[in-house]
Structure 1
Amino acid sequence: MMQNFKNSLIAAIMAGVIIAPVYGLQILRRGQETYLQPDWKMIIGGMLLVFAVQMLRPLIKRRKTGAAPRFSLPTFSDKTRHKAILVLVLFAVIWPFFTGRAQVDIATLVLIYVMLGLGLNIVVGFAGLLDLGFVGFYATGAYTYALLYHWAGWGFWEALPFAGMVSALFGYVLGFPVLRLRGDYLAIVTLGFGEIIRLMLINLYGFTGGPDGISGIPKPSFFGYQMVRRSVDGSPTFHEMMGWSFNSQDVVTYLYLMALILVLITLYVTSRLIRMPIGRAWEALREDEIACRSLGLNPRNIKLSAFTLGAMFAGFGGAFFAARQGLVNPESFTFIESALILAIVVLGGMGSQLGVILAAVLLTVVPEIAREFAEYRMLIFGLVMVVMMVWRPQGLLPVKRPQVELES
């Protein structure tokens, strides 16, 4: 008990040292004077929280070898599961017609992160390759559509497959330098790749617009009918074709339904891939590369396929992001985006597609709801990740892998 008290006290003091300079000091001005005022409520509150968590940790953590689990999720048959998925998809389709514009817009952003999470889940969750530069493929897809529109006048549906192919090509090229790297070394190289892409977008001013980016990117059309109030070339718009008055809510709903379709396609393709031989090869590579090689599998081709397919889905997500925003610039593709996408995969459970969807919803919607804590967002985000790594490192909804136990 005394040892636990000492450890908790040390942890609380270290938390105070970290919180004080970052969140516990306020810069105030009185006339010509500037001075720092400590926020003792923030500092002491954080220290007490860490102290209480550390004191309660031995009481909460009661995991004994051979102990029965405290709870277990109910199991369902495939037929019941398919019915539940169908009900959820139908609800997602009709939901935007009964809610406000802000909610639909946030849901569209959630779907973009779901698509990115499912793409990174191939690389990190299935193949076990730590990628910290996934935002580079995201930026490649966004700028591919933006550049094709800016320089060639292509529309969204024409540029979408090219955005996926160009991002897949970048993923394939990135795969070669990292074939012999693992763990931290792999993470550092991929992190550098993401920063190289961002710096190239900034420095190639004459081609990419530099820090200003590219604006005026059009929204996707509906079978050739533009979703705008008035078309530039005089062609009939979607609302004129339908005989409706223009409403910006319809455009937001259309983008949401498009994002939902792209997510469903991504989910279906990735679900099929992990049941195919390539998916089994990814799992073998993740568990043990040496054993994978001894089985006659080629780790080089397996790694390249993981990087290529993951980058392709990131490219699709990037192209849709450019269409939704109407503007792309390098500041939208910083390292924090890669960290957020990786956190979605880790928080949901590496290899778990349902977990990725749940984590994307939590990490996107909760900050929008709790806007009054916006300045403490990263602190809360880091605290949640630390708590998850301590008490549930397998994620919120870990994937269930088949296993066989031999009787001794």
Structure 2
Amino acid sequence: MTRESRKYWLTLVIGLAWFLLLLWPLLGINDDGTLSFAPAFAVWIRVAVVVSILAVIYFAKKQGWLDPVLNPAGKAAEEVRKVLAAPPLWIYILIGAALALAFPWFTSRYAQDIAISVLIYISLGLGLNVVVGLCGLLDLGYIAFYGVGAYTYALLSIHYGFPFWVALPFAATFAAIAGCFIGYPTLRMRGDYLAIVTLGFGEIIRIVLNNWMSLTNGPNGLLGIDAPAVLIPDFSDGFSLEVFFLKNLGYLYYVALGLAIFSIVGVYRLNFSRIGRAWEAIREDETAAELMGVNTFRFKLLAYAMGAVFGGLAGAFFAARMRFVSPESFTFIESALVLSMVVLGGMGSIPGIMLGALALIALPEVFREFELYRMLAFGGVMTLMMLFRPAGLIPAKRMGKRSDDED
């Protein structure tokens, strides 16, 4: 056994031992204060077996022992990729659109509910992608714009009777204004300082929503929000237009799908515009971009505002779907979840963020029977992703690398 291989297996043993030390307090301390080792060891041994098998496979691949099997498989996979790349892109878009439109007709209410959540988080992830992925500004308070959009529609619907479609532009506008208020004080900051300040502003907005009793009803939330509605013709007594509320999950799915498609097209157009190029220049090297004539102050503020617009639209739909909003829906953990989608899928990559939202929202529901172990598996998968695929599931095609990143 070589020195490198001994180091590899020693690292694996130390990692498994450390995992056992972390797992035992979670499962070994009972409610009555007694201690037990069997539950934690039962879970640990299963994880250890799976990790050991994966480690053996990885080590064998690294040593070249699997080349007789992997080389033909790699050639076959390359042929499959060539066949899939032959048709034009619009064919895949049409197939995806047809499947998305037909989804509610062949699925249960539970699947539709999960699909609506995925579509909401796709809009949120794409909005945060404008700030983090395109402009390179780490925003840990993004969920505040989601809350502003939700409360804007809730207040307009309850107090002024605004329909959902009329209130959408107001939700986007107020979210953009909130984005400017949050973004303006942070424009001179970078790195960790920027993250801390945006986190603070996000918590400030949540606390304001929680304590402004006369406007937001505080922690009790707002109830009685109208669902989205459309006008349909009625010929029962002549011709008239009747208001039809979209309360069914199948109808709400199509509304969420429309908002997600709008977000995808909007972020795509922004990405491949002059504004998108300026954001990318700021992301790669802000000082160089400013020296080349890019107004970094204006474009960074615009990134906050445009990203907040998509968050506000998603928030308005969230309020219309739930018909109830409260500050507990807009905590920091939601911002962390959306940021995880962007990082997991690939910063700056629209297909990657869609895949990241699907992975973080739908997959935990698939493994719901594992209950508490779901988040444990989620943390492990995120760790492995950052180790072996740090650029994300589907990395962006235009993504530079700074010199300090290489160091």
Q: TM-score range by the shorter chain?
A: 0.7 to 0.9
Q: Could you list the runs of 5+ residues in structure 2 that have no partner in the other structure?
A: 65-70, 234-240, 401-407
Amino acid corresponding to residue 92 of structure 1 in structure 2: A
Report the secondary structure of 2:35's partner residue: strand
| Alignment partners' CA distance in 2, 1:214 and 1:402 | 43
Q: Which structure shows the higher helix fraction?
A: 2
Report the secondary structure of 2:34's partner residue: strand
Q: Structure 1 pair 190/84, CA: closer, same or farther in 2 (3 Å)? A: same
* Deviation per residue, 1:311-341 (Å, 9 max, x gap): 0100000000000001111111111111111
Amino acid corresponding to residue 238 of structure 1 in structure 2: F
Shift of 1:206: 2.4
Matched pairs, number: 376
Of residues 278, 296, 308, the one that matches 2:305 is 308
Shift of 1:47: 4.9
1:161 aligns with 2:169: yes
* Deviation per residue, 1:167-192 (Å, 9 max, x gap): 00111111111111112211111111
Q: Structure 1 pair 195/137, CA: closer, same or farther in 2 (3 Å)? A: same
- TM, length-normalised to structure 1: 0.85
Q: Structure 1 pair 316/58, CA: closer, same or farther in 2 (3 Å)? A: same
Q: Please, what is the CA RMSD of the aligned residues?
A: 2.7
| Alignment partners' CA distance in 1, 2:44 and 2:164 | 50
Q: Structure 1 pair 59/391, CA: closer, same or farther in 2 (3 Å)? A: farther
1:280 aligns with 2:294: no
| Alignment partners' CA distance in 2, 1:58 and 1:98 | 44
Report the secondary structure of 2:371's partner residue: helix
* Deviation per residue, 1:50-108 (Å, 9 max, x gap): 56656665555689xxxx9x676549779810221122112211221222222112111
Of residues 183, 191, 197, the one that matches 1:175 is 183
Instruction: Output aligned runs, 1:6-405, within 5 Å.
Output: 6-22=10-26, 24-29=27-32, 34-38=33-37, 39=39, 40-47=41-48, 58-60=59-61, 73-74=81-82, 80-223=88-231, 236-238=242-244, 251-401=248-398
Q: Structure 1 pair 318/45, CA: closer, same or farther in 2 (3 Å)? A: same
* Deviation per residue, 1:251-289 (Å, 9 max, x gap): 211111111111111111111111110000011111111
Q: Structure 1 pair 77/379, CA: closer, same or farther in 2 (3 Å)? A: closer
| Alignment partners' CA distance in 2, 1:261 and 1:58 | 46
Asked whether the equivalents of residues 231 and 244 of structure 2 are also in contact (C-alpha less than 8 Å), the reply is no
Matched residues, percent identical? 45
Report the secondary structure of 1:297's partner residue: coil
* Deviation per residue, 1:110-151 (Å, 9 max, x gap): 110111111111111111111111111111110111112222
Greater CA drift, 394-403 or 305-314:
394-403
Asked whether the equivalents of residues 289 and 299 of structure 1 are also in contact (C-alpha less than 8 Å), the reply is yes
Q: Could you list the runs of 5+ residues in structure 1 that have no partner in the other structure?
A: 226-234, 240-247, 404-408
| Alignment partners' CA distance in 1, 2:42 and 2:191 | 40
Q: Structure 1 pair 188/74, CA: closer, same or farther in 2 (3 Å)? A: farther
Asked whether the equivalents of residues 175 and 304 of structure 1 are also in contact (C-alpha less than 8 Å), the reply is yes
Report the secondary structure of 1:222's partner residue: strand
Amino acid corresponding to residue 187 of structure 2 in structure 1: L
Amino acid corresponding to residue 3 of structure 1 in structure 2: K
Q: Structure 1 pair 61/328, CA: closer, same or farther in 2 (3 Å)? A: farther
| Alignment partners' CA distance in 1, 2:230 and 2:169 | 17
Report the secondary structure of 1:27's partner residue: coil
Shift of 1:43: 3.5
| Alignment partners' CA distance in 2, 1:269 and 1:304 | 18
